[in-house]
C-alpha cells in the first residue's frame, strides 16, 4: 500500500511498506536502490534519495509496488501490395512507414515498461508480413536507438499476446536502428498473424 501523502508519518510506516533489516533500524537503510535492498529503484519511490540526506518527509506518497505497465492498446489495419500473380500483406499496427511503406492502424496507448517497471518504452510497430511466395515474419519497433540487443534483452519481454493467444515471439535477433524513423526494428518470429481490424489490448509476456 502507498504511504500517506500528508499528516503523521513514522518509522513504522516505512517498516510496513518496505520491511526492515532487523532490530537495528536507520533511515539510511531506506535509500532508493540502496544496499539493503528494501526500497526498490522505480518511479513510485522517486522522492526517496539514493544517497545523502534522507528524512521521513521523503516518503510521503511513496510505494514499493512496481509501476509496471505490460499492455499496449491500438486499432489494427491491413495493407496489401499486389504485384500481379504475387502479393505481400502487412497487418497490425505501424505508426511509421518503415517496412510497410505506409502507416497502418493506430496506437491509443503506446507506452509500456519492462517487467521490473524501471524502464519505459514506446512501441511504434507490431506487424505481420506474409507473402504469396511463402515468406512469413513479424516486426516490432520501439522508439529511439535501443542498441543492438534482442527485443528480450532490451525490454525483458519475449511475447506479444491478445489474451491467451500469442502473436509474436522473440527469436533472439538483434535490433536494427532505423534513423529515418528514429526507432529500433526487430525481426521477430511470427506465431500467429496480427489482426487486420478492430481495437485490441495487447499484453507482454
| pLDDT digit string, tens, across residues 38-73 | 998 888 899 999 999 999 999 999 999 888 889 999
Q: Is residue 179 part of a domain?
A: yes
Say whether both 20 and 104 belong to one domain.
no
Say whether both 16 and 75 belong to one domain.
no
Residues in the chain: 205
Q: Is residue 65 part of a domain?
A: no
What span, in angstroms and rounded, lies between the C-alpha atoms of 196 and 193?
9
| Tally of domains within the chain | 2
Q: Is residue 2 part of a domain?
A: no
Say whether both 182 and 101 belong to one domain.
yes
Say whether both 42 and 122 belong to one domain.
no
Read off the C-alpha cell for 56.
521521513
Radius of gyration of the chain (CA): 22
Q: Is residue 6 part of a domain?
A: no
Say whether both 81 and 170 belong to one domain.
yes
Read off the C-alpha cell for 158.
519475449
Say whether both 132 and 197 belong to one domain.
yes
Say whether both 110 and 16 belong to one domain.
no
pLDDT digits (tens, 9 = 90+) for 90-107: 999 999 999 989 999 999
Rounded to the nearest angstrom, the gap between the alpha carbon of residue 190 and the centroid of all alpha carbons in its chain is 19
Say whether both 35 and 124 belong to one domain.
no
Say whether both 139 and 79 belong to one domain.
yes
3-state secondary structure (DSSP) of residue 26: coil
pLDDT digits (tens, 9 = 90+) for 109-135: 999 999 888 888 999 999 999 998 888
Domain that holds residue 15: 11-59
| pTM greater than 0.85 | no
Mean of the per-residue pLDDT values for the chain? 93
Q: Given this model, what pLDDT does residue 65 score?
A: 87
Q: Is residue 64 part of a domain?
A: no
Q: Is residue 107 part of a domain?
A: yes
Q: Is residue 1 part of a domain?
A: no
Say whether both 53 and 126 belong to one domain.
no
CB–CB of 47/59 below 8 Å? yes
pLDDT digits (tens, 9 = 90+) for 10-40: 999 999 999 988 776 789 999 999 988 999 8
Say whether both 122 and 196 belong to one domain.
yes
Amino acid at each position: 500500500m502507498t504511504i500517506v501523502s500528508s499528516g503523521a508519518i513514522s518509522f513504522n510506516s516505512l517498516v510496513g511498506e518496505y520491511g526492515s533489516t532487523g532490530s537495528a533500524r536507520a533511515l539510511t537503510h531506506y535509500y532508493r536502490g540502496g544496499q539493503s535492498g528494501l526500497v526498490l529503484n522505480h518511479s513510485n519511490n522517486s522522492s526517496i534519495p539514493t544517497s545523502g540526506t534522507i528524512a521521513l518527509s521523503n516518503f510521503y506518497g511513496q510505494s514499493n509496488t512496481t509501476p509496471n505497465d505490460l499492455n499496449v492498446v491500438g486499432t489494427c489495419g491491413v495493407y496489401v501490395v499486389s504485384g500481379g500473380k504475387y502479393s505481400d500483406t502487412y497487418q497490425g499496427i505501424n505508426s511509421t512507414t518503415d517496412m510497410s511503406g505506409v502507416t497502418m492502424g493506430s496506437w491509443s496507448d503506446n507506452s509500456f515498461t519492462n517487467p521490473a517497471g524501471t524502464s519505459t518504452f514506446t512501441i511504434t510497430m507490431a506487424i505481420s508480413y506474409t507473402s504469396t511466395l511463402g515468406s512469413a515474419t513479424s516486426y516490432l519497433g520501439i522508439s529511439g536507438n535501443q542498441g543492438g540487443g534482442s527485443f528480450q534483452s532490451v525490454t525483458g519481454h519475449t511475447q506479444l499476446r491478445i489474451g491467451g493467444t500469442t502473436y509474436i515471439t522473440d527469436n533472439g535477433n538483434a535490433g536494427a536502428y532505423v534513423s529515418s524513423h528514429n526507432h529500433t526494428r526487430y525481426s521477430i518470429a511470427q506465431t500467429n498473424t496480427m489482426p487486420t481490424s478492430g481495437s485490441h489490448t495487447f499484453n507482454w509476456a
